Structure 1
């Protein structure tokens, strides 16, 4: 269990991030077109998992915008922005914001991604949402970088996450 904060108030997740060198767990998430996406879909590509509670918050939306800016310049890399938002809400956000270089995926169906990756918030006002984290996988989907953002209203360290892809 990891302890993080929400505006200074301690809250907890159901576990800890995967360890560097571990094989990433498979997942099934819902894409904007309502298709199912799993890790095999990205076989042979490096993957950045940008995980956050909801696009309806300023910092979460900022993280999608920031990763979208650099995604087009990254070779053999997919950036997946994962939240508990509906696929329709994710689609509206991406359309309104001109987001075209990252993929948004929904963990709304059963929250299994958040649970399996140790990111499900287990108490406080954001209970059942995923905490803010970045996980980077290599081409073989081994974990090469993780960041559990310690304060929900804080942005992730984009530079550190992208540095491992250089």
Structure 2
């Protein structure tokens, strides 16, 4: 059908530390990611990456520079640099773009103490040189800035995101 929206889906493999983007059931891109250092889990405060079916709830950062620093989904006015990083050792850097996820499975990743949205689980950019392909995040899914900028342009609010162990 001419003009119909593409059917886009995101699949994240925690085991492979990879995000796969599908359009009309065809794999079109794969990206290295970093999921939670503490593994998978849905509980609030666990520091784990939640599994199951999610959707993109909000897209944050359109038009922002790749070095834009976010806190609470808002640009701080800072631009990431090695000097800024040295001033804030141990800070969990959220850069560039944010895809905020919401769970779709009540009692598993939606509602109560397992609510992905209330846990502020994102797919987001991170500083260059941050290890990807290994679990290291605080629960979110980290991507290289260029990759998350590409993904951001390819998905819409409501895009399904499946996270599998």
What TM-score results when the alignment is normalised by the length of structure 2? Answer: 0.30
What TM-score results when the alignment is normalised by the length of structure 1? Answer: 0.29
Higher helix share: 1
Greater Rg over alpha carbons, structure: 2
